[in-house]
A and B are shown apart, each in its own frame.
Chain A
Amino acid sequence: MSDALIVMIAVLIFVIITIAKGVRLVPQGQEWVVERLGKYHATLLPGLNIVIPYLDNIAYKLITKDIILDVQEQEVITLDNAVIRANAVAFVKVTDPVKAAYGVTDFAEAIRNLIMTTLRSIIGEMELDQALSSRDKIKARLRESIADEAIDWGLTVKSVEIQDINPSPSMQAAMEMQAAAERERKAMVTKAEGLKQSAVLEAEARLESAKRDASAQVMLAEASAESIRRVAAAVGDNTAPVQYVLGEKYVSALQDLGASDNSKIVVLPADLQEAVRGLFAKR
C-alpha cells in the first residue's frame, strides 16, 4: 500500500463524513434551527439543505404543524365557592421557530401551564351556573389572555377548546336535588291552580243558576198575578158564580176527605152557604 493511497483513503473518508453531515434533508412539517459556533445562524426549511458540518450544529428540530396540547383536568373554584372540574385542549402552531426555540425552555409545557392558570382565574370570576353555561365566553377570554404571552414564544394559539366542565359529585347531587325540587314545586303549583280554577267555575255556575231561578220565580209570580187579575176582572162585582165554584170545590174537597184511608171524623159546617161566604170574609 503506497503512502499516497493511504492519504487518499483518509481524504475520501473525510469527504464522505463531511458531505454526510453537511447535506440535511428536513421533512415537510418541520423546521430546524441551526447554530453556528453556539450562536443562532439560520432556520432550515423543509427540503434539501446544506450546513457546514464543523461550524454548524442543528440545535432544535421544531414541528411546525399544528400541535395538539391536552391540558389536564383540574379542580376550579367558582365565585360562589362551588368546585368544578375542567379540562381543555389547545391547538397551537409555531409561527416563529427562532422565538419558539430561544424564547422559552419548553413552549408546550409553558402554554399548558398558562392555560391551566388562566382557566382557573377566568372561572374564578364566574358564578357556577354562568361557568357551566358560557363555554364560548370562557374560550374567547382564554384565547385573548394567552395571545400576549404567546407572542414572545413565537406561537399562534389557533383555538382553545374547553372539553369538559363537570361539577364535583356532591355538587352534582345537590344540583339534581334542586332540579327535582323545582319540578315538584311546579307540579304542586299547577295542581293548586287547577283546584282554584275549578272552585271559581263552580261558584260561577251556582251564581248563574241562582240568577236563573230568581228570574223564573219572578216570572211565575208575575204570571199568577196576571191570572188573579184576569179572574178578578172576570168576577167583577158579581160574586155568585165564584161562590158557586168555590162551593163545588169545597164539596169535592170534603168528598176527598171522606174517601181517604185515615180517620173518618169529618166536621161538616152546618151552613155551607155561610161557610163559603166566610171564605170571602165579606161582612
Chain B
Amino acid sequence: MIAPVWWHWIVLGIVLMLVELAVPAFFVIWFGLGALLVGLGLLLMPALSVTAQVVLWTGASVAMTVLWFRVFRSDRPSTRSGNSASAIGEIGLVTTAVAPFQPGQVRFQKPVLGAEQWQCRADEPIAAGDRVRVVSIEGNYVQVQKAH
C-alpha cells in the first residue's frame, strides 16, 4: 500500500476536471476541485493519514456540490424558447367576452404557438377589450386571467 504524495492529488484533480469536459455531468468537477484541495492540504500538513485524505476528499467534494446548489445556482431560465411553458405569461386582449363555462376569444400582439387568435377560458367574467395574461395552455385553448 503506497501512500499518495501531494502531487498525486493535484494531478488527479486536474485529470478529473478534464474528465468533466468529456462527460458533461457537472459533478466530476467538484471531485476534481476536492482533490486539488486535498493536495494543498497535504502540502501544508504532510502527516495526514490516507484515511483522513479520503475523508477530506469526500467531505470537500460534497460540501462544494451542496454549496453550489445552495448559493450559486440561479433558477431563472435564460430563454423560454422550446419550453413547454413558453407561452405562459403572454399578454393578450379579449375580443369576445369570456366567463366560466363560456369560452371567449383572445388576440395576441404577435402569434403565440402559431396563432394570433385563440379560444380562451377563464374562471372569472372578463369583458371584451380587457387585457389578460395566459395562465396555462390546454391543448388548443388558453386559460387566462385578468392582467393588472
The answer to the question of A157 belonging to the interface, with a C-beta cut-off of 8 Å to chain B, is yes
Query: Contacting B83 at CB < 8 Å: which of A5, A31, A155, A156?
Result: A31
Interface residue ranges of B26-64 to A (CB < 8 Å): 26-27, 30-31, 50-51, 54-55, 57-58, 61-62
Let me know if A15 and B83 touch, CB within 8 A.
no
A246 to B72, CA, bound (A): 147
A45 contacts the other chain (CB 8 A): yes
Contact between A28 and B82, CB atoms less than 8 A apart: yes
Counting residue pairs across A and B whose Cβ atoms lie within 8 Å, the total is: 96
Let me know if B77 and A45 touch, CB within 8 A: yes
A210-261 with Cβ < 8 A to chain B: none
Verify if A25 is at the interface (C-beta below 8 Å from B): yes
Binds B, one of A46-54, A115-123, A124-132, A189-197: A46-54
For the complex, what is the distance from the CA of A152 to the CA of B140, rounded to whole Å? Answer: 11
Minimum CB–CB distance from A141 to chain B (whole Å) comes to: 13
Residue of B nearest to A20 (CB): B27
Q: In the complex the two chains form, is B138's CB within 8 Å of A19's CB?
A: no
Residues of B within 8 A of A157 (CB): 139-140
Q: Nearest 9 A-B pairs (CB), nearest first? A: A151-B139, A158-B114, A147-B140, A29-B82, A95-B137, A150-B139, A8-B54, A64-B84, A5-B51
Q: Let me know if A94 is at the binding interface, CB within 8 A.
A: yes
The verdict on B73 contacting chain A, using a C-beta distance below 8 Å, is yes
A62 to B83, CA, bound (A): 10
Say yes or no for A205: interface residue by CB 8 A criterion.
no
Which chain B residues border A15 with CB–CB below 8 Å?
A: 58, 61-62
List residues of B (1-48) whose CB comes within 8 Å of A's CBs.
Answer: 1, 24-27, 30-31
Q: B82 to chain A: which residues have CB within 8 Å?
A: 28-29, 46, 64-65
Task: For residue A247, give the distance in angstroms from its CB to the closest CB of chain B.
Answer: 115
Q: Are B84 and A31 in contact (CB under 8 A)?
A: yes
Q: Are the CB atoms of B114 and A91 closer together than 8 Å?
A: yes
Mark each residue of chain A from 75 to 111: 1 if its CB lies under 8 Å from any CB of chain B, else 0: 0000000000000000101111100000000000000
Task: Known contacts A28-B79, A46-B83; decide if A156 and B139 are in contact (CB<8 Å).
Answer: yes
CB pair A48–B51 under 8 Å, yes or no, is no
- A2 is an interface residue with CB less than 8 A from chain B: yes
Q: A20-B25, A96-B138, A157-B139 are in contact. List 17 more A-B contacts (CB 8 A).
A: A5-B50, A8-B51, A12-B54, A12-B57, A15-B58, A25-B25, A28-B79, A45-B83, A46-B77, A64-B83, A65-B82, A93-B84, A94-B84, A96-B137, A151-B139, A153-B139, A158-B115
A94 to B27, CA, bound (A): 30
B95 at the interface (CB under 8 A from A): no
Given the known A-B contacts A1-B1, A95-B84, are A8 and B58 also in contact in the complex, defined by CB atoms under 8 Å? yes
| Bound CA span A147–B115, Å | 13
- Pair B51/A4 contact, Cβ less than 8 Å: yes
